Chains A and B, each alone.
Chain A
Amino acid sequence: MRVKKISKSKKKEACTAYIFLLPLLAGVVMFFIIPIIQSFYYSLTDYKGIGSGSFIGLKNYITLFTNDIKFMAEARNTLVYVFGSIPVTIFLALLIANLLNSSIRGVGIYRVIYFLPNVMMGAVVAMVWKWLLNSRYGLLDAVLDFLFGIRPAWLSDTSLTMFSMCMISVWSGLGYCIVIILAGLQSIGTTYYEAAKIDGANAFQRFTHITFPMVTPTIFFLLITRIIAAFNQFDLVYMLGGEEGPVQESIRTLVFGIFKSGFTEYRMGYASAKAVILFLIIMIITFFQFLGEKKWVNY
């Protein structure tokens, strides 16, 4: 077995590199890694936010899975939200990005318009939509009433609230996905399209056999990041649902549950346990996504 000797100059280079990384690494460790480990520790105690909590082992977790119907509802709502909004967002983004990839007049302006929602803060988006969807004075219901004579209560009818939240989320997330996919589309060489046109492929066939396969890495990236972001949805839930009530119960997500346990009821240990569970859920889903990567992503 031969051990490769690293030359002295390479060692010096590596040293410099590490020194440069040190400040950032120190920050990451201090503000992310250590609090995460602390969180794992607190989830095994009954810490109340003040003083110190006493160690109670896995009691928090047992309560979570056997005695907490709200937690089950939160998990269910979060899954519905994730699978209800992300696929739609990415599918629409793919279509729209494809259209924006052409060189029609004013395409720059269209791109700006589609990206604008992403620039707005979550809380602002929620406030504006709260009034747009108001069943008495909102714009959407005014139009629907004029056209069809119906005024659905988008934000107070509990069977519609989840749909409304997904809709708002799609609207605001579309811009980001479009920009990323657009970048991915523009890296596809025109030679493929030319060859396909010569072979007599129509637009639809070009899309399914060239565009889509070539853009799968971008879609994979978007799926991973957007799903993780969707699992962390809090803004919309809090702004649309308030602190309690039937509306909040119909859309409450895992992160909202963490907020409620930790900052309204001051059961920090319990909230930490919920956070750990969320962490595990996201990790498992991301793991399965990476497993599937080899099957459908072409590099």
Chain B
Amino acid sequence: MSIAEIFNKYPDRRYIEFGGKGGLGKTTFSAATAYWLAKQGHKVLVFSVDPQASLSDIFQRDIFGKGAVEIMPGLFAQEIDADRHIHDYQEQIRQKIRDMYGMDEIPEEIENYIQAAAAEPAMEESAIFDAVVDIVVGAQYDYYIYDLVPLGHALYYLSMASIYDEWIGKVTSLREEMKEYSQVAAILERKKDSEEDLILGELRYIKQRINTSSSILTDREKTAFFFVVTPEEMIILDTLKAAKLFSKYQVPISGYIVNRVIPPELAGQEIPEYLRRRIEMQTQYLDRIDKTFGAQVLTRVPEFERDVTGLEMIGRVSESLFGGAA
């Protein structure tokens, strides 16, 4: 099956992810897929969850932290500015404290905590995670394309959702138990209602956000996850390991795309020995990829003679990826 066929056969798969080691072409394929879908008349958002995002580079436009920017009709791109997201979030918390207690200034101890929290190493990932929830629950686009972070990080991102979910579950049940005690006290004191637990409401809100995000990533009906591989031994081995780990998190893998294939027809031409050797080696690994991943290998994309940047090159990749078929 080709990628275009997958898109046509499963029109409900509207969350598209490309995963793989760093530098294999995830961003390129994300951009090319967005390009193809936009050309088909869909409204598409490609966004990056990588703090070192490269969508700006591939589209040759500075879009960092500028929200969804329209690159061409129907194609929007967004790079999340985690620092600004954290900064705005901190300010929101401060404002809430000021409003709730009529304070002019935040108590020093509380202010220190707010600042220290922002310096935690996982804060950035959490902020991006949260920003992604905002994007996907907005439901303004036909397709959402995640330009994922390299493998290790992507797994971390997925596991974070399940860890958070467990944590929230425990904290919520403690809070619910507390509510029971409040109710008992209220009944005994013959008060009509116990006070509404605002924290419990907040916890339910957080839980719902986390679940929305992780359920999309692992929903077979709505999500298509593609692995990007190149014909090299280390990459094949790493991808195998990663595929196992991803299936543990129930990520629905739709197929594998082989990138950076040196055109084999070159072998028939007058070429240096060095390049001939590389092509021979590549043929072996391509066979191995076909044997290992079988029918799940969707297509091979050639190594281009120049970098893929700018819409024209993205168009060429898209043609190679989707076969130019409508």
Partners in one complex: no
Could you tell me which B residues sit within 8 Å of A by CB distance? none
